[in-house]
Structures are given as C-alpha cells and as structure tokens.
Amino acid sequence: MAISRKEEARALSADEHDLVEKSHHPEVQDLSDADLAGLVKLLRERRDKAQAEAHRRRREIRGKGAPKGAVASKADGGSQLKLAVLAMAMRRLNGEAERRRQLTASVSLIENARKAFVMKQGAASDSPAFNSRTARKGMRSVANQRAPDLVRPMELGRQRKAAKVAQAKRDAR
C-alpha cells in the first residue's frame, strides 16, 4: 500500500521528514554518490531505531515487556507507520544505489571491451605467437586415445534386462 506524503509528514519528526524527502524521485538523483551513501547510513540508523521502538511497543501491548513510561502502550499504529515510511525510503535509496552501481559497471564493461578491442587490433598486425597451436598451418588433429567399444549397445541392453529379470525371480521366492 502506498503512503502519501501527507501521511509521511504526520508520522515523522521534522529532521526525519527532511531525510525521507531526499529519498523521493527528483531529489535522489541530484545527490552525489557520497551524499547518497551518507543518507543511506543516516536513514538506516533511524529505521533501526524505529524498528526497535515498534518491537518494544508490541511487547508492551502483549504484556510481555515492562512499560517504558508509567502506563503501558495501548496502540502502536504510529510507530508501525513510521517504520513503514522509513523502510520505504530505505528501499528507494537502495534501489537508487543499485541503479548507480549497475550503470557504473556497464560503463566500465564497455570501456574494458573497447580497450581489449584496440589491444587485439594492435596485436593482429604483429607476427603470430611462436608457441601457438594455430600458427601458420593451422591446428593439427589429435588422435582419439579412447579404444573403440567392440560390444554393440543392443547387446549390453539385452544383458542388463536379463540380469534384472533373473534378480526379480530370485527376489520373488
């Protein structure tokens, strides 16, 4: 279920709201890689803190944990909403970081392929390598070292089936 920006603003404190706003689409692409990494770290800390708080409140409601204040919590809807908002922001930031990582990897792969192509073209003009199997006259055929099988496959199948039938007769006794 999508969470509107109005609900996000209601669930978060002012500084958390500023962090989450930076994780939305137009702003997240304007961040540098260092800023993105810093934002991921800050938001992860806030999310973990909200997760611990929501867990504590759920334990209080069930009666398993001691109340933090004078009276045990009655509901944890706000802490659950806050956790959901921060988790969605983390998902957006992780997606952006992964998109940038894949883009960098793709650019690097293209650069390496071009560099290898240039190197291959430069090597093609040189004389062929001295210790190459394909130099000058081409590859020499290598004789098959495996001895030919003299027994027909049909005969092997017949013997295998006869052994199965004989074993079944012995087992039936």
Task: Return the pLDDT at 4.
Answer: 87
pLDDT over 60 (residue 45): yes
In a domain, 130, yes or no: no
Span 36-57, mean pLDDT? 93
In a domain, 156, yes or no: no
Task: Return the pLDDT at 133.
Answer: 56
In a domain, 22, yes or no: yes
In a domain, 52, yes or no: yes
In a domain, 101, yes or no: yes
Average pLDDT of the chain to the nearest whole number: 87
In a domain, 133, yes or no: no
Burial degree of 83 (CB within 10 A; 0-12, 13-18, 19+): buried
Residues spanned by the domain of 87: 5-123
pLDDT over 90 (residue 69): no
Span 116-132, mean pLDDT? 72
In a domain, 166, yes or no: no
Q: Residue 38: which pLDDT band, with cuts at 50, 70 and 90? A: very high
Q: Which two tokens stand for residue 106?
A: 């793709």
Highest averaged pLDDT of the listed ranges 65-69, 90-94, 119-123, 136-140: 90-94
9-19: per-residue pLDDT in tens? 888 988 999 99
In a domain, 80, yes or no: yes
Report whether 40 contacts 93 (CB < 8 A). yes
pTM, 2 dp: 0.62
Tell which phi-psi region holds residue 138, choosing left (phi > 0), alpha (psi between -120 and 50) or beta: left
Domains identified in the chain, total number: 1
Span 74-83, mean pLDDT? 84
pLDDT over 90 (residue 142): no
Report whether 73 contacts 57 (CB < 8 A). yes
Span 67-94, mean pLDDT? 86
